[in-house]
Amino acid sequence: MKTVVNILFLSMWLATQSASAQSDSFVIEGNDGSKIKASPLAVFDSAWAMTFLPDARALVSEKSGDIWLLSQRGEKIAKVSQSPNVTPRGQGGMGDIILANDFTSSGRVYLSYVERDAKDDSLSGAVVERAKLTLSQDSASLSDRTIVWTQSPKVTGNGHYSHRLAISPDGYLFITSGDRQKFNPAQNMAMNLGKVIRLNLDGSIPSDNPFVGSGGVASEVWSLGHRNPLGIAFDQQGNLWTHEMGPRHGDELNRIMRATNYGYPFVSEGEHYNGTTIPSHASMPIFQAPDLAWVPAISPAGLIIYQGEQFADWQGHAFIGGLSSQALIRVDLGENAQGADKKPKEAARYEWGKRVREIEQGPEGAIYVLEDATGGRLLKLEAMKQ
């Protein structure tokens, strides 16, 4: 009898929580006139990344090092135990978390975070781990943790780690590695800073990587000349896209191509923070120009390419979180267009006065966004009913 009462109470409580979230819902109108319904689900302390599990529960990482298991309704269930020890400083801390493509059978996940140098605490760099995630109804834990990639070298400062992760349709691990605010490493093939990295899922080097014959960390590199790429995603055609923050304005959206140099710090669509001009991509066509650039800056963070049914008219569009722009930005990638219209262009901007750190597509086709900083909310974005 007691069990039945408890189940009844839990059901009533969940219904109340759901109704409460709906009552707090609000409407966001884009600058194109389109409207989205936003429902707050949970609150986090500097959330950084999110991924959905096959059962529609989710994981959310916080920069402090905590990883949360969420219910199917977006409520916090428990912290994931045995997660890495992280010392957050500046832009660094816990980073991305994604599922392996065989997660259902293997339970494997990949996660990134910032590691301090054991002999010199002023030095740091990002690492990527592969681990096994064990789940129960009300708990989650990590085990068999193995580092599969290390940002090299560790350097001073606490910015531009990037460390966003994606697995390609053909089963390779891609990692964005920022320039660590050091500029020239983005062009230095003796370092894996300022690069997009491609690895086998166990961390080994694919034999067909473009610079594999050079040895060292150059063998990891897929593309170079990047500044601080904080979003990475594959589209339905298998094309790889990243965005990155420009120096002062000039934020970029790039289709990433094998062995291609995107030019930073030699070229940019922005300028240095002290006002010094940086040559544009057009002035040095040997470097690949961005598919889309923003002046003034949007400060992009988080990236999905939407494939759901709920916003059917936006299938194939990119959604980018904006930090300084305090917006969710929708970009028509133009992949279904013809001729001159094929170039990506900003289609709409949705603003509600909050910095947007992360975006994910839910299994039901809704879009989920994580607001930045302490007290940032997880919002579920749904199409407005006619």
Token pair 């009844």: residue? 8
d(CA 153, CA 184): 13
173: tokens are 């691990």
Residue 297 main-chain phi, psi, to 5 deg: -70, 150
151: tokens are 């940002």
Strands across the sheet with 292-294, in order? 229-234, 240-244, 251-256, 292-294
Catalytic residue among 160, 226, 243, 281, which? 160
Active site residue 160: yes
HEC readout, the chain: CHHHHHHHHHHHHHHHHHHHHHHCCEEEEECCCCEEEEEEEEEEECEEEEEECCCCCEEEEECCCCEEEECCCCCEEEECECCCCCCCECCECEEEEEECCCHHHHCEEEEEEEEECCCCCCCEEEEEEEEEEEECCCCEEEEEEEEEEECCCCECCCCCCEEEEEECCCCCEEEEECCCCCCHHHHCCCCCCCEEEEECCCCCCCCCCCCHHHCHHHHHEEEECCCCEEEEEECCCCCEEEEECCCCCCEEEEEECCCEECCCCCCCCCECCCCCECCCHHHCCCCCCCCEEECCCCCEEEEEECCCCCCHHHCCCEEEEECCCCEEEEEECCCCCCHHHHCCEEEEEEECCCCEEEEEECCCCCEEEEECCEEEEEEEEEECCC
* Residue 87 buriedness (CB in 10 A; 0-12 / 13-18 / 19+): middle
CB atoms within 10 A of CB 243: 31
State the catalytic residues: 160
